[in-house]
């Protein structure tokens, strides 16, 4: 597994850039990972990130993209604008979650 350096701290990631442990996550991680994905984080991005982390903590798995869109009242097209193609994958990388499975 490769490592990504953020402010002098090494973070272990898998081959697709997902953080090895969600417990290693930090706001600094999120900001740097977003930059690496060419994403500038806004309050709207943080709403999604916080939701993903809370949902995953509560249920043990990441939510599906349709659930995120419905719960946060964000259109899928807006999620794509915010996080690029594969919006839940990129949002999950930034949020420090495991690789999502299923329909994303």
* Whether residue 1 has pLDDT greater than 70: no
User: Is 69 one of the catalytic residues?
Assistant: no
Q: Alpha helix (H) ranges present in 1-104?
A: 27-36, 43-59, 65-72, 76-83, 87-95
Q: Which residue has the tokens 């259109």?
A: 75
Contacting residues for 55 by C-beta, under 8 A, at least 6 apart:
62, 63, 67
- What would the pLDDT profile of 51-92 be if each residue is shown by its tens digit? 999 999 999 988 999 999 999 999 999 999 999 998 999 999
**Per annotation, catalytic residue among 25, 101, 103, 104:** 103
Would you list the domain boundaries of the chain?
3-95
pTM of the complete model: 0.88
């Amino acid at each position: 597994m490769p490592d990504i350096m953020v402010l002098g701290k090494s973070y272990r990631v898998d081959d697709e850039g997902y953080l090895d442990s969600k417990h290693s996550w930090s706001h600094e991680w999120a900001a740097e990972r977003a930059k690496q994905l060419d994403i500038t984080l806004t309050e709207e991005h943080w709403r999604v990130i916080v939701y993903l982390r809370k949902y995953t903590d509560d249920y043990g798995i990441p939510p599906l993209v349709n659930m995120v869109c419905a719960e946060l009242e964000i259109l899928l097209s807006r999620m794509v604008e915010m996080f690029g193609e594969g919006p839940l994958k990129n949002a999950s990388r930034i949020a420090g979650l495991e690789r999502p499975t299923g329909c994303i």
